Each structure stands twice: as structure tokens, then as C-alpha cells.
Amino acid sequence: MVKEFHDALDALSQKVLEMGRLSEEMLNNAVLSLRDMDVELAQNVLAKKACISEMDAEIEEEALRILTLFNPMASDMRRIAAVLKMITYLARIGRYGKDIAKITVELAGQPHVKKLVSIPYMASEVGFLIRDSLKAFEEETIEPLKDFTEREKNIDELRYSIFRECLTYMMEDSKTITRCTRYIMVARYLERCGDHAVKMGEKIHYMITGEHIDLDPTGPETCPGT
């Protein structure tokens, strides 16, 4: 029974990593499709939405089956709890990839403003966060999480920098308004993906150490009245 449990838990973890790779791939390809105005690649991202939804449902069902069948304790329970949180964050990252791909289709054929400003760089930084969260989960180490707060702060600053730059272009030339407003939306989507990667990091840290931490660069929140 013990071997069966650990085999099931290992298989569950591999499914999460597979979902994580798909989510990160969708986000990366969505930004590439926007950078290159590649509608075919954008359509490929849009087609993957159903895959992410199916994986989300399958992993949740399997995690609940393991909980019911084996009644895990201690660190094993924390791993399953982390899995149930992570698949929500990964599904949202995939969804934002889909949303960016839709913007590619919308803007297809139009020239970029200032080579898409800093969006490709911002996307690469977010991608690193996602991959490092998955690495921490796979290797059961908190080492990749140590600078998450500073890296997330940098992503936040990039979002506001893109906003300010786009605002300048829109004020100078009204013809850029549609494109620049979409860039601002993409930057917001990427920021949210960074937030989700950080939240995964927090859950993984708890999974490994049993200690809750707050990696949000804005600082910990407190419940009113506490």
C-alpha cells in the first residue's frame, strides 16, 4: 500500500510538471506570436486552452482520489495541497497565454510600435519565474525561490514602465492608441502571470519546509482586526 501511494503521488507530480510546461509554453508562444505577428502560432495557442482545462480537471480528480484512498499525512499532505493550488495558478497562466494570442489575431497585419516596447523582455523574466517554481517543485528545493521577491518587483516595475511609454506614444500619435492599449493589457497579463508564479513559489516553500512565507514585494497583508 505504501509503494502504491508513493507511485500515485509521483505520477501526480509528473502530471503537474507536464501542465506547468504546457502553461509556460502557451504563454511564451503567445508572446512570440505577437512579436512576429504569427497568426498561425496564435491559433495554435488558442487550441491548447482545452488541453489546459482537461489537465486541470484530471489532476484535481486524481489528487482527491489519493486523499480519499490513502489518507496521507505530514509532508505528503502538504504536497497534495500544493498541487491543488498550483493547478489553479497554472490554468490561469495558460488562460493569459490564450488572451495574448487573441490580441495577436486582433492586431494582425499592423506594424508594431517601438518593436513591442519591453514586452518580450518582460515575458522572458516571467518565464524564468514560472520555470524556477516548477524546478523547486520537481527537485524539492527552495533554492530557486530565494530571489523571487526582487524578481517580482522588477516585473511590476516593467509593467508600469510599459504603461508610461505607451501613454507617451498615444499622446504623440493617436494612430497608435489601439496598439498601445493592447500592449498595456499584455503587460498586465504578464504581471499577473508573474504573481501566479510567485504564489506557486509560496505554496512550494510550505510544501518543502512546513513554513508559510510571503514572497509578494508589496509586503505581507494582515487581516483587519488582527
Average confidence (pLDDT) over 35-45: 97
Domains in the chain, start-ordered, CATH in brackets?
Answer: 2-209 (1.20.58.220)
Average confidence (pLDDT) over 35-51: 96
120: how many CB neighbours lie within 10 A of its CB? Answer: 13
Which pLDDT belongs to residue 216? 81
In order of 104, 120, 153, the CA distances from 116 in angstroms are 12, 7, 21
- Dihedral Cα 128, 27, 206, 221, nearest 10 deg: 100
Lowest mean pLDDT among 13-22, 48-57, 67-76, 134-143: 67-76
Distance of CA 83 to the CA centre of its chain: 14
Which pLDDT belongs to residue 1? 66
- Give the model's confidence band at 71: pLDDT under 50 very low, under 70 low, under 90 confident, else very high: confident
Q: What is the per-residue pLDDT across 181-190, written as a single tens digit (0 to 9) for each?
A: 999 999 999 9
Which pLDDT belongs to residue 183? 97
Q: What is the per-residue pLDDT across 73-111, written as a single tens digit (0 to 9) for each?
A: 888 999 999 999 999 999 999 999 999 999 999 999 899
pTM as predicted: 0.93
